[in-house]
Structure 1
Amino acid sequence: MKKITFLFLFFYSFQLQAQEQLSSSKGVIHFEASVPLFEEVKATNQEVNCEVELKTSEINCTVFIEKFQFKRDLMRMHFNNSYLESDRYPKATFMGRIDKLDYKSLSEQPTEHQIKGIIKIHGKSKAINCKALIKKVKKGMEINASFVLNTDDFNIAIPSIVASKISKQVTTTLKLTVLE
């Protein structure tokens, strides 16, 4: 009888612990660094890893640089080899906190929250503060955020030969569905 009680309590406590953290490995991040009158420079990564700790409202995301997909393979090659040097800096990370997040009070109607934290790209870190729309979904929540990053903040050099064709201001959008 003691073993059955122990197993019940073990699995019950494990289930409670699992509900305190939401996670996903299928978030999507897009970026665009296009300038008018030139070929668009944009990419998508559909393998964003993210965890949200519900008690503390902490959010941690990891993006593997090589997973970004471009319209042209040549752009992907230059992006990985010349700009972000993905062999040397294989991932970008974000560690932060979602202000005023109350998971139990979320509804299917998106509410605006501030996300503040540190983003690390190309070996350089920068504080970031962005607005996010967060809503309740079945067994989790959806987070949509948009922000602009400057390549200079991360020492990402754009060769002068293409500097007029690529914006230093990179518009970035993130869509995550984190689940129990």
Structure 2
Amino acid sequence: MKKLLYVIAFISLNVFAQGKYLTKTGHVTFEASVPSFEEVKATNNSVTAIINTENGEFASLILVKGFRFKNALMEEHFNENYAESDTYPKATFKGKISDFSITKLSNNPTRFNCSGLLTFHGKTKKLDSTPFNISIKDGSIIVSGTFKTNASDYDIKIPKIVKSKISEDIDVSFDFILKKK
């Protein structure tokens, strides 16, 4: 009887996990550059993301200190003065992809819209209809896209002394290659 319960539990766990794809090596880049000034751009190459193919739920987790800038001093200022990454170490997105079905995926990206909540710097903002380009190749689901947001939406204050050098508007791009869990 005990053996039967173990077999049922094992099968149940495998069935439950069948629709989940995961990565811990996703890429998120943001840019708040202004023409004629130094590039304000950073990339994080160790972002965790998961998609549930059964219901279209999508989530990602970013460790804020993982963002890398070309300029080490800019990275330090970002972590200490803007993102306050010791106080707010994580950024998260939790959402649902509209009309998602794994059967709609092919090698060519299909555009879906995702709505959800983005939390950064202790503030949460609803993102509506963020475009996701999703394809499937060699058993992996590839998700990419871009969106714009504003520093003020997350209570990030840009000091007057550098206001002309850093854009209030932030372009965010993301790329994930998710493998079956």
Q: If the length of structure 1 is used for normalisation, what is the TM-score? A: 0.93
Q: Which residue of 1 aligns with 2:43?
A: 44
Q: CA deviation at 1:5?
A: 6.0
Answering whether residue 98 of structure 2 is matched by residue 104 of structure 1, we say: no
How much has 1:172 moved relative to structure 2?
A: 0.4
Please state whether the residue corresponding to 1:40 is helix, strand or coil: coil
- For the residues of structure 1 that align with 2:104 and 2:14, how far apart are their CA atoms? 20
Q: CA deviation at 1:177?
A: 1.2
Which residue does the alignment assign to 1:67? 66
Partner residue, 1:28: 27
Instruction: Return 5+ residue gaps in structure 2 as ranges.
Output: none
Percent of residue pairs bearing the same amino acid type: 36
Taking the aligned partners of 1:139 and 1:5, their CA distance within structure 2 comes to 32
- 1:145-164 to structure 2, matched below 5 A, reads 145-164=145-164
- Higher deviation after alignment, 125-134 or 80-89: 125-134
* Distance across 2 between alignment mates of 1:3 and 1:95: 38
Alignment of 1:123-142 (within 5 A): 123-129=122-128, 130-142=130-142
Superposition deviation, residue 11 in structure 1: 3.8
Deviation at 1:10, TM superposition (A): 4.3
SS at match of 1:143: strand
* Structure 2 counterpart SS, 1:55: coil
Matched positions, count: 179
Q: 2: CA distance between counterparts of 1:12 and 1:123?
A: 39
Residue number in structure 1 paired with 2:13? 14
Q: Distance in 2 between matches of 1:72 and 1:5?
A: 59
The SS at the match of 2:14 is: helix
Q: Which residue of 2 aligns with 1:120?
A: 119
Counting only pairs closer than 5 Å after superposition, residues 78-93 of structure 1 correspond to structure 2 as 78-93=77-92
Amino acid at match of 2:84: E
**Structure 1 residues without counterparts, runs of 5 or longer:** none
Structure-1 residue corresponding to 2:143: 143
Cα RMSD of the aligned pairs, angstroms, is 1.5
* 1:9 positional shift: 4.6
Distance 1:18 1:168 in 2: 41
More off after superposition, 11-20 vs 54-63:
11-20
**2: CA distance between counterparts of 1:17 and 1:178?**
17
Aligned equivalents of 2:18, 2:140: Cα separation in 1 = 9
Of 55-64 and 84-93, deviating more is 55-64
Instruction: State TM-score, norm by structure 2.
Output: 0.93
One-letter amino acid of the counterpart of residue 166, structure 1? I
Q: Is 1:178 matched up with 2:178?
A: yes
How far apart, in 1, do the equivalents of 2:25 and 2:53 lie?
19
- Report SS of the residue matched to 1:59: strand
